[in-house]
With several copies, the nearest count.
Chain A
């Protein structure tokens, strides 16, 4: 197995979750790398839709922000901000969305708004952006996050983007059109979500990782899948394709 950083590992594992022909809503950074990697390898017909309205982009570099002209020059289409959220996201045309955040709980609820009290914040984070909209409308949510105790919490300080809220029953009551959280990919393992309860469940441990390590970094009593797998290690092909995407190591440090 090639020597990879934990970010590289997470991106490679995330890329494998994308299927050929799916549409993916991409932001800048790590999710952009995962989508591009999948496209280079097993999903050549992956459709990438950027939050800023660009579709079918051919960027000549890693975009500096979501409004980067490199996402527009040579793209198939671009539309306004409201149009992007209305026609594509609310339109139900996006299969997969990537989210991250400062905190996540066992139902995949994500906080990217505030640490501490909303009115008197300890740390004010950037906020939802499109995250809550993505969480509510795409078929599958994939979360990429380092596996740290301060990130995996019993209860998020602020629920920015709904996972299954208090479980799949509650999700159904909300009548959101999205499919909810699908996978959480960390540097230790891949979680999926229980079909019945909607609780985060360890589906696969990355090579060399033990359940004890996962438990140490997750504050609740972690559920484990009956058919717990081991994540196949990154291949040379995956690693070299990924590194070619970010030659300056902007995101892959």
Chain B
């Protein structure tokens, strides 16, 4: 698993994402791995179970493209904008195909992933009781707290077949530094059986080793490393680019009809070979427009004895 982890997104998806997989493309409305989602669509994966707290636009696209048979989620919205129309069309009307749902609260789903990452037998949590969610989901159970006798809600671990995590910096083996809203990235990587990391920059191992407290996941958990600048466009990456917000608003209009949605996928997903072509296709000046002003962290001293 050590040698030759560095590969293209095309190779990584070909090798590690399989029909029928439970896939967790991580990101709590930040660092969404759009490039990975598009490649999964291009390779026409099907029957996927798409898991993520916040499905975001990329899962909407994958659903519209017919990749998914089921979604495990806690908030299916277009973040800051409104509905995910393709998710709704599939679930409400079976277009392009019926979509099964398995639903939690944010705490419940991030808890399932944490329990999967740490291999807990089950996770007790102070939520769910009184809500109509548990009756709809047989995986949400209760146990009696042996200290108080109270009924306690529990969820089971979630172990995706494959996770995709986008980060700012990684070395060729998959040691990586992530900062900003780090959502469920660490737990996704620890919970999944196969793990694809993509990075804005591939850096020398010494950069990672200069600050080991910032490494969320060491390399031995990582199966593929992809150098994929602008992977998350139109989402944001802390320190690298801002959200292309117009697209998030535009998506609401594009997806009013399934046909128009397919037209978008035809042009922007199937119509390009990879992320580089996608970026080249965007209006001139997009990258410059989205670049933030630098704001460096103050270094810390690890010392050497």
Contact = CB atoms under 8 A, between A and B. Distances in A.
- A–B touch (CB < 8 A): the answer is yes
A67 B303 contact: no
A86 B120 CA distance: 8
A198 interface: no
Q: Looking at chain B's contact residues, is the secondary structure mostly helix, strand, loop, or mixed?
A: loop
B26 to A, nearest CB: 9
Sorting the interface of chain B by its residue count into under 10, 10 to 19, 20 to 34 or 35 or more gives 35 or more
B304 A60 contact: yes
Contact of A76 (B27, B91, B175, B181): B175
B295 interface: yes
A77 B212 contact: yes
A174 interface: yes
Which residue among A87, A113, A171 has the maximum number of chain B CB atoms within 10 Å of its CB? A87
Contacts of B133: 113, 128, 132, 160
Interface string A45-75: 1010001111110101101111111111111
A130 B292 CA distance: 29
B131 A64 contact: no
A118 B134 CA distance: 12
A85 B117 contact: no
A80 B106 contact: no
Nearest to A86: B118
A160 B168 CA distance: 36
Contact of B126 (A69, A122, A136): A136
Interface stretch (B11-19, B71-79, B261-269): B71-79
B238 A132 contact: no
B215 A52 contact: no
A159 interface: yes
A126 interface: yes
Interface in A125-182: 126-133, 136-137, 158-162, 165, 170-171, 174-177
Nearest to B184: A81
Contacts of A121: 91-92
Contact of A127 (B76, B128, B180, B248): B76
Contacts of B298: none
Contacts of B125: 90
Interface residues of A, number: 71
Contacts of A80: 182-187
B286 interface: no
A68 B221 CA distance: 25
B180 A78 contact: yes
B208 A76 contact: yes
Given A78-B213, A90-B118, A162-B130, A52 B28 contact: yes
A183 B105 CA distance: 23
Interface string A173-203: 0111100000000000000000000000000
A126 B77 contact: yes
Interface stretch (B62-70, B223-231, B239-247): B239-247
Given A78-B213, A159-B132, A56 B238 contact: no
Given A66-B28, A177-B126, A113 B236 contact: no
B103 interface: yes
Given A28-B79, A159-B130, 11 more contacts: A29-B80, A53-B182, A56-B219, A64-B79, A69-B242, A69-B292, A71-B181, A73-B305, A89-B107, A127-B73, A175-B151
20 contacts: A23-B220, A55-B212, A56-B218, A67-B30, A69-B180, A69-B242, A76-B218, A77-B218, A81-B106, A85-B111, A86-B120, A87-B118, A118-B136, A124-B76, A128-B74, A128-B133, A131-B105, A133-B127, A162-B130, A174-B130
Across the A-B interface, give the 6 residue pairs with the lowest CB-CB distance, nearest first. A67-B30, A162-B130, A67-B29, A129-B75, A126-B77, A65-B79
Interface of A: 21, 23, 28-29, 45, 47, 51-56, 58, 60-61, 63-82, 85-87, 89-93, 113, 118, 121-124, 126-133, 136-137, 158-162, 165, 170-171, 174-177
